[in-house]
Amino acid sequence: MTGAVRAPLDAPPSHGAETVASHRFRKLKFAAASLVLVAIGATAAITHYGTTLPPLDLAAATDRSTVVIDRDGRLLRPFLTADGRWKLPVGVDDVDPRYLAMLKAFEDKRFDSHRGIDPLGLARAAGQMLLNGRVVSGGSTLTMQVARLLEPREERNLAAKLRQAVRAIELERRFTKPQILDLYLSLAPFGGNLEGVRAASFAYFGKEPKRLSTAEAALLIALPQSPETRRPDRFAEAARKARERVLARVERAGLATASEVAAAREEPLPTARRPFPNLAPHVAEQVVAEAPAARSHRLSLDARLQTALEGLARERSLGLAPQVSIAILAVDNETGEVRASVGGVDYFATERAGSLDLTRALRSPGSALKPFIYALAFDNGIAHPETMLEDRPARYGIYIPENFDMTFQGMVSARKALQLSLNVPAVELLSAVGPQRFLSRLRDAGAAIAMPREAGPPGLAVGLGGLGITLQDLTRLYVGLARGGEVPELDVRAAEGRKSSASPRLVEPVAAWYVADTLLGAPPPLNAVPGRIAYKTGTSYGYRDAWAVGFDRRHTIGVWVGRADNGAVPGLVGRTVAAPILFDAFARLGIDPRPFQQPPDSIVASSAHLPPPLRHLRQDVPKTMAAMTTPALKLAFPPEGAKIDLAASAADGQTQLNLKVAGGAPPYTWLVDGAPVLSPTRRREAVWQPPGKGFMRISVIDGTGASESVSVRLQ
């Protein structure tokens, strides 16, 4: 060639040629070393290198997110690990077998036969590098990848590869193939703070890895190779290309037809991460706080029912004020296990105080306790469902009960009085039973009643809601009626995780059946089918709480509606607000059509055919609050319409207001705008610190249930 300049054969290469040669030499060296590693065998490698390694640390394999699952193993709520990562427990039984087959076909097709390292795979990787001048495939087995995940290192050199090979052989000797797959499925990274295929499946697709489509499985197989640069929520094109490579390999392996792969290619990629399940958050936090060391908590809840009732609460809240919340509790009557627990409408809603578990809040039950007055009256032979009661104006000392609609029905049977929730007959029966005896029986059955014993004897007002009880305890008492008077301990933990104990008895089976049969005939809410469930409603004083609790042979459901701050809600009535939610909840749960089992010694007869003592309430029964000489209750200070200067009543830098009452019977309970502000006291004087200025209504209730209120202005 004319004009061409040739370098002499012994001339040193140029700088650029030296760099290329050096780079190629390093590649050849790595390929040759890989072939040598295959040649010497795993035994020689362990002998030469493995003895210098410390014991394999499996801490990463045991560090998992705490999870709360339902009775069938469905995920209710996971929790972040201490380092802020989602690492949900997962194993081969938790994923689709097709996903595992695709994973092996793409990553390690001889996984089931090799012993940690794949000589053919390493030879193939070295040959590909020699032919292409670059790394085409790494030759790492799934076991070697697990070794790398257990001992993450930045180096990607011969020493690192040799260490992975030695660790892989060690893993194969210690664990079975399914256990090694478990480790990979748990440790593989998927971008961000996601570790493990189960966490990734929930984050990207909102489902368990048992339900992955072909396209979804292919994406999750591709991500661990380069999790940060292939995240579909950030690098969609890179994720799509990586998924394409997996699908092509899957088609060649015969794991999917051409049409299936074509459809998978058209399936859209996820564009954002989904939130993890957050069902029954209040219960989940409670059980984790009780046993923080446990990594898995199996509850008695049913995830499907929990989802349905949480959705019901959200739907019904749309027609209520923004501050009003809803709590729902569903219980299995036979076992006492809680099947669903909705502590509020929205856990994250600050205006509804969503983080508070309102199934555990002490609230006034209104008339929801009346069935237990009747149950005790039936149990003690005081009355029968057909016993005639008087619904007419009555006076118990200075306590004059009135019905909700301010009318009277005259002579009514106990059955009708309970079905219509009449106040006067209920107070008459409570007077015969005795308020203290009534409360003692409720407490003995396990209900935590908010009425201090040291405050003095209770009055008849307790029968109409003059006490505090939680939705959990109230629902539990109704479960007792469904079980023939035996009140079980409620527990959210699955049967294998809780202790069984003897259940206390509230009443005998006959009395419980009388009440259940009576409540079955209570008029249902508008457009609801009658005679399906036995239920009772309640409305607290000042329209602060609306209740509805019902049961059939199999389940009991309790519903509470109100404000977490105990504020009044105009129109908040149990029958019109809570009862429709109760019936809708049973529609979603399903109603047991079996009738309540009638005890053999029960009496079914009209009033005229009852034994004479049961035809009418015995007139010789003393009225427990008949102290007619007690002076009428009077709020002595402040007087009605008073304007009070708070600055003039300040003491030690704090504003104080002296409250005084005359007459009545202790203990005295003081309320401001319907909310209790002081503990019940036997003293006729009390000191209260107002929160600020403005118009306020101050009330006092004495031990007989009598009340007196005044409106004042604090300035």
Sign of CA dihedral 511, 516, 520, 524: positive
Count of other CB atoms within 10 angstroms of residue 627: 12
What does the alpha-carbon distance between residue 268 and residue 219 come to, in Å, rounded to a whole number?
11
Listed in sequence order, the residues at least 6 apart from 86 whose beta carbon sits closer than 8 Å to its beta carbon are 65, 78, 80, 193, 194, 195, 196, 199, 203, 276
Q: Which residue has the tokens 């207001």?
A: 657
Helix axes 97-107, 236-252, angle to 10 degrees: 90
What does the alpha-carbon distance between residue 537 and residue 580 come to, in Å, rounded to a whole number?
11
DSSP assigned state of 647: G
Helix axes 509-520, 471-482, angle to 10 degrees: 100
**Nearest to 30, CA basis, from 164, 147, 135:** 135
Partner residues linked to 545 by β-bridges: 562
- Of these residues, 65, 107, 317, 325, which one is catalytic? 107
Distances (CA, A) of 508 to 23, 482, 581, 610: 91, 12, 30, 20
Q: Omega of the bond prior to 613 within 30 degrees of 0, cis?
A: no
Backbone angles phi, psi at 211, to 5 degrees: -115, 25
H/E stretch holding 455 reads: none
Helix axes 435-444, 423-433, angle to 10 degrees: 80
Residue type, 476: R
Q: What is the 3-state secondary structure (H, E, C) of 182-241?
A: HHHHHHCECCCCEECHHHHHHHHHCCCHHHCCHHHHHHHHHHHHCCCCCCCCCCHHHHHH
What does the alpha-carbon distance between residue 533 and residue 593 come to, in Å, rounded to a whole number?
9
Distances (CA, A) of 160 to 107, 247, 564: 19, 30, 59
* 8 A C-beta contact, residue 696 and residue 714: yes
Phi-psi region of 663 (alpha: psi -120 to 50; beta: other; left: phi over 0): left
Listed in sequence order, the residues at least 6 apart from 286 whose beta carbon sits closer than 8 Å to its beta carbon are 357, 492
Give yes or no: 334 in active site. no
Count of other CB atoms within 10 angstroms of residue 92: 16
Give yes or no: 501 in active site. no
DSSP assigned state of 51: G
Query: How many residues in total does the chain contain?
Result: 715
What does the alpha-carbon distance between residue 532 and residue 152 come to, in Å, rounded to a whole number?
62
Strand order in the sheet with 338-342: 338-342, 324-332, 555-563, 545-551, 534-539
**Token couple for 442:** 């409720």
- Of these residues, 201, 325, 364, 367, which one is catalytic? 367
* 8 A C-beta contact, residue 706 and residue 678: no
**Token couple for 331:** 């219980």
What does the alpha-carbon distance between residue 594 and residue 609 come to, in Å, rounded to a whole number?
28
What does the alpha-carbon distance between residue 524 and residue 472 come to, in Å, rounded to a whole number?
23
Identify the three-state secondary structure at position 326.
Answer: strand
Cα torsion through 377, 378, 383, 389, rounded to 10 = 70
The residues carrying an active-site annotation are 107, 367
